[in-house]
Amino acid sequence: MLIGVTLGKAWSDGRWRHQCASCYLEAVLEAGGEPVPLPAETILAGGAALLKRFDGFVLSGGGDLDPALYGQEAHPATGTAETPRDRGELMLIGCALEANRSLLAICRGIQVLNVALGGDLVQDLPSAGFTGHDQAEAREARTHTVIPVPDSPIHALSPAAFKVNSFHHQALGKLGKGLVIAGQAPDGVIEAVWLPGRPVLGVQWHPETYAHESAEAAGLFRWLVTVT
């Protein structure tokens, strides 16, 4: 299974560099897939012809989307958009859906997925009265609970509530067309969604950071490489 993993960019040593935490690639490898880093520029240049070579995709975490993509003005807490990445990942989602490829959308990824399907975002959770979703602890520390929704892929992985890590100040608002909630935090923040009848699943936490020690987290990547 050839799995494309999207990348972000970071400014380092006087130049822009593509970046991807190695744990994304390691989690895909451990699940039996073959990960391939996919920069936004490669997606935009290659288009559907390139993307159809892949069996599935991971939409990785990163910065905030441009709020104009979902019809809102930017909140003061919203970060600067990375326009090529926004465009590339929206294109990828369209191609993945058209070709019925598996898609695991993580943190920023679940937000891009929701916007691609016509949904919107809560731009700043603390301003909206939600706290405890952007933790200060180490990335692999699991600090808050997700409650699975029955008959969802998340419930199939773990019928009981479980702990996850959390590094987001934004979250899903209005759901995109066809998306169904698969898990929520106790305060009601949407933590997972899926597309019934499609191999598409999104989670708001970062399972790649602790997939090496968690059956639930590793199960998300096994789902990715076996669902189609």
Q: Please report, as a single letter, which amino acid is at residue 134.
A: D
d(CA 195, CA 66) in angstroms, rounded, equals 24
How many residues in the chain?
Answer: 228
Three-state DSSP state, 76: coil
DSSP string spanning 114-138? HHHTT--EES-TGGGT--SSB--S-
d(CA 96, CA 56) in angstroms, rounded, equals 8
Q: Please, which residues bridge with residue 103 across strands?
A: 57, 200
d(CA 97, CA 119) in angstroms, rounded, equals 16
- The confidence score (pLDDT) of residue 15 equals 63
Q: Which domains does the chain have, with CATH numbers?
A: 2-226 (3.40.50.880)
Residues carrying an active site annotation: 107, 206, 208
CA nearest to 69, candidates 85, 53, 48, 49? 85
Residue numbers of the chain with a pLDDT score lower than 50: none
- The confidence score (pLDDT) of residue 77 equals 95
